[in-house]
Amino acid sequence: MAACALASARVRDGAPSGGQDVVGIMPAQMFFAAAEEALPKDLLQCQDFDYLRGLALLALASLQDARIGAMQMYIGHYFTMLAINQWHDESNWPTGLHPTEREELGWNFTTDLYRILEHNLSRLRTRSSRFHLVAESVSTPSLNVSSQDRVNELYMTLPPIFKQLQPATGDPAKDIYGFQAANIQATMALLKMVSLSLEADLDVERKCSVVSDILATFHQVPKPYLRAISAPLIYHIGGIGTILGSVMEGPLSESSCCVVRDLLLSMAVLLESLEACLHRSGGAGQRLRSLVARIEEYIGSRGGGRATQAQQHPADISASDFREGTSKNSWDETAVPDLSAQFQLPDELLQDWTWPFAMSNSYLSF
């Protein structure tokens, strides 16, 4: 029932149905309620692996409907059940599991990415904690580089079919590989964002360069696969918004402000394509366009705007302007040293710069 709840919610929100007739499909809420009713009342007495799977699926289904509290509750139940039965150790798994089930629950490339991600997040939390009394060693940057090198090594060993972003065909037997390739790219982008947060003394150029690369990747992924990943992808993109937020709060030149404008609009186009099908939409794309319009108005009011005068109006920017992941004024075009005077965007301009899909205890900090 939990799997049906997630599948129903994803199809409702635009995920490919594999050619299946989805007319008249039961609402996700009905499957969700049935799954909740089937859950054990006492986790201490529960030793069925299917309940563990159900808790994970209910957490994802809750995220799909932007029910963050429910998602966190089911994630908590999941780890509680995992700890009670010591299932973090494969030797303690139930003996009745079929070999195929064991294989499906084992390691793969994405699992390796999440292991590296967990390690980097642990470092990030430790560094951000007020109880962290011992400074990180001078070798920390090399640790970050080595983790990225390890990711690149693992990625190069993948079969080509998992690295090629082929168009969706409607045939599930073929599209499963395209979806896996898209999921790998999304996970690698998340890892890149977290790795960026561990770097010290980041400048505007470095932040914008990473954001540009990540957005380029997302724009190259066929839209049906992005919609199959669905709501979790928007939370991933929230990390990009956090990076750009830190850029906008610092000193900017006219040209760097132009780059930020292009990246914000690239995000807006990406988000609008995803939000168009979501049952629970936060209007993030349109809010980004409004922010860009306010920034341009401010630049114009202070006698600037030479770099933006020839640009399209934010409302006119469409997906065709970001086919390669960047707008017509790409980051590479600003590689020339910028000698223009720097300025700071006023606080009132950014006072409503909030992420509509942000979780209350976001672990990303840039």
- Per-residue pLDDT of 14-67, as tens digits, reads 888 776 766 678 899 999 999 999 998 888 888 888 999 999 999 999 999 889
Query: Position 334: which residue type?
Result: T
Q: Where are the beta strands (DSSP E) in the chain?
A: none
Q: Stretch 79-102: mean pLDDT, rounded?
A: 89
Q: CA dist 37 to 15, 76, 164, 187, Å?
A: 27, 18, 41, 33
Residue 315: count of CB within 10 angstroms of its CB: 12
Q: For residue 362, is pLDDT > 70?
A: no
The predicted-structure confidence for 208-243, as pLDDT tens digits, reads as follows 999 999 999 999 999 989 888 888 888 778 778 878
Query: Position 105: which residue type?
Result: L
Q: For residue 292, is pLDDT > 70?
A: yes
For CA atoms 204, 207, 209, 214, the dihedral sign is: negative
> What is the DSSP secondary-structure string of 277-311?
T-SS---HHHHHHHHHHHHHHHHHHTT--TTTTTS
Tokens representing 73 are 């509750």
Q: Stretch 106-135: mean pLDDT, rounded?
A: 76
For CA atoms 148, 154, 156, 162, the dihedral sign is: negative
Note whether 70 and 62 are within 8 A (CB): yes
Cα 56 from Cα 136, distance rounded (Å): 34
User: Residue 343 in 3-state DSSP?
Assistant: strand
Among 242, 203, 228, 214, which Cα is nearest to 334's? Answer: 203
Query: Position 221: which residue type?
Result: V
| Host H or E run for residue 181 | helix 172-197
pTM above 0.85, yes or no: no
